[in-house]
Amino acid sequence: MACRWRIRHKLVLGLGLVVAILGLLLAGTLKGLASYRATMTTLGCKFKEFQKAQAVRDAAKLLQKFNSQQTEALDLKGYIAGTRRALDEYKKELDLSRLELGDDPDYASHERTVAQELNKYLDDLNEAMRAAMNNAVSTADPRTPLLLSDPGVDAEMKKVIRTTDDLINGMTTGLGYLRDGVRKETKTILYVVCATFVIGVLLLAVLLRSYYGWVFYPIRALQEGAGRVAQGDFERTIEVHSGDEIEDLAHAFNDMTGRLREMYRDLARQVNERSRQLVRSERLASVGFLAAGVAHEINNPLHIIALHSEAIEGRLGDLLRQPKDRQAQDLDTVIKYLKKIQDEAFRCKGITQQLLEFSRQGEPRREPTDLAELVQVVVDMMQHMPNCKGKEIRFEPAGPCAAWVNGLEIRSVILNLVVNALDSMEVGGTLAIRLRQVPGPTGSMHDPRVEVIFEDTGCGMTPEVLENIFEPFYTTKEPGKGTGLGLSISHRIVNQHGGEIEAVSAGPGKGSVFTVRLLVRPPEGAREAA
């Protein structure tokens, strides 16, 4: 496995790059400053040397006045000595400049050579002057010798003058070379500084780009993943490949979301299971409630059947003992009793058939279902219930009105609302059930709804009851007559169908209105799955 770069390693690398950038910039700056200082020092030394060389030249030029006049030998010696002193000062300045500029033995080698030649020519000039004075001893007036008329003195003096001119010209040429060198050095420094700046900028750009890939992008991915988890999305994982602690954190976060996803799935499964159990319990309670009413209703037909059976049993014995002319009259009575028994038996069969149809279990599959038929089945069933005695249920459907529902579940909702309405009314009360198709939430008929409205003349509800009417285990009935789960389960069933259920009441004693809205067509997702 390749070595993984931890965040501290990346920080150290980034710090190293920053130090390298600063080092490059500092090196370029120091290089420029050093070159500038060396150039200025060299120019200062050359300026001093030039002043000393100019003094040598000025002292040597004093010898030129001997070209047109006579002088004593002592005067000439004094001028020569002055030139030699100026030359010595120049040589001392050369030594000082060499020491100041790093004690380079090759420094101003040309100027030193010229100075040595000038010193030699001054010695030669002294020798020529002594030779001329020795030759002048034989003249008539030795106090005024014509030294410059001597060819040797004149030649040596010209060498001295020419050498001083060469010295100045050489220094002027050297300063020109120095100027050109300074220009080249300046360009080199400029190139070095620019190159250092460009390299520093490139390194900084590489550093920023690397940090975006190493730190900023992974942190942003973590932030987005945490935001999705906060919104309840546990399906998507965080993809981070930074190879450091952030990647480890992303893996840990993904493991956490995976465990949360499994926990939520298990919790949702348990909630669905408990909800199905509650629905089954409520349905069984409703079936038990219906069974009690059906048993009470069947009791009358069974009593009639029993009475007629006893009557037939007695009449059959009398009928067999009577003469044939009277048997026909009694036979008609027996047939009438049998017909009554048959009618009452079919009546019991119809009641029990309705009960079986209502309690029959089926798959929780949704399909287009005629709500008018569902409501009518419930209304027919409730006609046999004890709490419906003396109360009126009005339902006159205008025609079929289909919705995309599970018939068994919606029938439970309708039964629950009808039973609650009947329980809330006194004898003489009326429950009106209306069924209609209305536009969707946006007012468009492209997404219509079906409304089932239950309006009763019962006891009504207060604002507090309306606020809590769909809460689990909340009931206004007397203890032992309600569990408080009917409306809660009905609300959940309607919501699972993508519909709405709402309750309205003008106040206590003013009745209540429950409205159930259901989809006519399945949602897009359910339609595509189908």
Structure tokens at 86: 């100026």
More confidently predicted of 230 and 518: 518
The 3-class SS string of 233-258 reads: CCCCCCCCCCCCHHHHHHHHHHHHHH
* Rounded average pLDDT over 471-479: 72
Residue 55 resides in a domain: yes
**Predicted local distance difference test score (pLDDT) of residue 67:** 43
Q: What is the pLDDT of residues 87-130, one digit of tens each?
A: 888 888 877 877 777 767 767 777 778 888 888 888 887 787 77
Same domain, 411 and 527: yes
**Predicted local distance difference test score (pLDDT) of residue 306:** 67
**Predicted local distance difference test score (pLDDT) of residue 505:** 92
Cβ pair 196, 24 in contact under 8 A: yes
Overall number of domains in the chain: 3
Q: How would residue 453 be classed by pLDDT, with cut points 50, 70 and 90? A: very high
Phi, psi (degrees; rounded to nearest 5) at 68: -130, 5
**Predicted local distance difference test score (pLDDT) of residue 518:** 92
pLDDT exceeds cutoff 80 at 455: yes
* Rounded average pLDDT over 303-332: 64
Read off the amino acid at residue 212.
Y
**Predicted local distance difference test score (pLDDT) of residue 142:** 47
For position 308, which CATH number holds?
1.10.287
More confidently predicted of 287 and 413: 413
More confidently predicted of 351 and 378: 378
**Predicted local distance difference test score (pLDDT) of residue 300:** 55
* Rounded average pLDDT over 394-416: 84
pLDDT exceeds cutoff 60 at 521: yes
Domain boundary among 361, 377, 393: 361
Q: What is the mean pLDDT of the chain?
A: 75
Same domain, 107 and 97: yes
376-381, Cβ contacts within 8 angstroms, sequence gap of 24 or more: 377/411, 378/411, 378/414, 378/415, 378/418, 379/418, 379/433, 380/354, 381/290, 381/354, 381/355, 381/415
Same domain, 98 and 197: yes
Same domain, 79 and 199: yes
Global pTM reads: 0.41
> What per-residue string of b and e applies to 16-51 under the rule 16 or more CB within 10 Å gives b?
ebeeebeebeeebeeebeebeeebeebeebbebbbe
Same domain, 375 and 352: no
| Share of the chain residues as helix, strand and coil, in percent rounded to the nearest 5 | 70, 10, 20
**Predicted local distance difference test score (pLDDT) of residue 486:** 75
**What are the CA-CA distances from residue 261 to residues 78, 224, 283 (Å)?**
113, 17, 32
Same domain, 107 and 92: yes
Q: Which residues contact 40 (CB under 8 A, 6 or more apart)?
A: none
CA pair distance 322, 333, nearest whole angstrom: 14
**What are the CA-CA distances from residue 470 to residues 20, 210, 502 (Å)?**
71, 57, 9
Residue 237 resides in a domain: no
Work out the number of other CB atoms within 10 angstroms of the CB of residue 445: 10
* Rounded average pLDDT over 347-376: 71
Same domain, 331 and 192: no
Dihedral through CA 370, CA 373, CA 378, CA 381, nearest 10? -150
CA pair distance 54, 46, nearest whole angstrom: 12
pLDDT exceeds cutoff 90 at 474: no
Residue 308 resides in a domain: yes
The 3-class SS string of 379-414 reads: HHHHCCCHHHCCCEEECCCCCCCEEEECHHHHHHHH
* Rounded average pLDDT over 315-332: 64
pLDDT exceeds cutoff 60 at 383: yes
**Predicted local distance difference test score (pLDDT) of residue 429:** 92
* Rounded average pLDDT over 418-444: 85
* Rounded average pLDDT over 409-416: 86
Residue 234 resides in a domain: no
**What are the CA-CA distances from residue 186 to residues 27, 189, 286 (Å)?**
15, 5, 103
Cβ pair 511, 517 in contact under 8 A: no
Domain boundary among 293, 327, 361: 361
Residue 417 DSSP code = H
**Predicted local distance difference test score (pLDDT) of residue 530:** 44
Domain boundary among 341, 361, 381: 361
* Rounded average pLDDT over 356-363: 53
> In this predicted structure, which of 64-68, 132-136, 287-291, 515-519 has the lowest mean pLDDT?
64-68
Residue 330 resides in a domain: yes
Structure tokens at 33: 């400053």
Q: What percent of the chain has pLDDT above 90?
A: 7
Same domain, 442 and 415: yes
* Rounded average pLDDT over 455-483: 79
CA geometry: angle 488, 451, 279, nearest 5 deg: 25
More confidently predicted of 449 and 135: 449
pLDDT exceeds cutoff 60 at 507: yes
Residue 240 resides in a domain: no
**Predicted local distance difference test score (pLDDT) of residue 512:** 93
> How far is CA 274 from its chain centroid?
38
Q: Which residues contact 424 (CB under 8 A, 6 or more apart)?
A: 456, 458, 459, 460, 512
pLDDT exceeds cutoff 80 at 63: no
β-strand partners of 103: none
Say whether 113 sits in a helix, a strand or coil. helix
Work out the number of other CB atoms within 10 angstroms of the CB of residue 415: 26
Same domain, 27 and 176: yes
**Predicted local distance difference test score (pLDDT) of residue 430:** 92
> In this predicted structure, which of 105-119, 491-505, 511-525 has the lowest mean pLDDT?
105-119
Q: What is the pLDDT of residues 225-251, one digit of tens each?
A: 888 777 777 777 877 776 777 777 878
Same domain, 282 and 379: no
pLDDT exceeds cutoff 60 at 140: no
Q: What percent of the chain has pLDDT above 70?
A: 72
Residue 120 resides in a domain: yes
**Predicted local distance difference test score (pLDDT) of residue 2:** 41
Cβ pair 470, 413 in contact under 8 A: no
Q: What is the pLDDT of residues 248-267, one digit of tens each?
A: 787 888 888 888 888 878 88
The 3-class SS string of 335-376 reads: HHHHHHHHHHHHHHHHHHHHHHHHHCCCCCCCEEEEHHHHHH
Q: Which residues contact 153 (CB under 8 A, 6 or more apart)?
A: 125, 128, 129, 132, 147
For position 459, which CATH number holds?
3.30.565.10
Residue 187 resides in a domain: yes
Same domain, 375 and 500: yes
* Rounded average pLDDT over 49-60: 80
Q: How would residue 503 be classed by pLDDT, with cut points 50, 70 and 90? A: very high
**Predicted local distance difference test score (pLDDT) of residue 144:** 44
Same domain, 197 and 180: yes
Q: How would residue 68 be classed by pLDDT, with cut points 50, 70 and 90? A: very low
**Predicted local distance difference test score (pLDDT) of residue 280:** 63
- Beta 402-405 vs 449-456: how paired, if at all? unpaired
Which domain range does residue 87 map to? 7-220
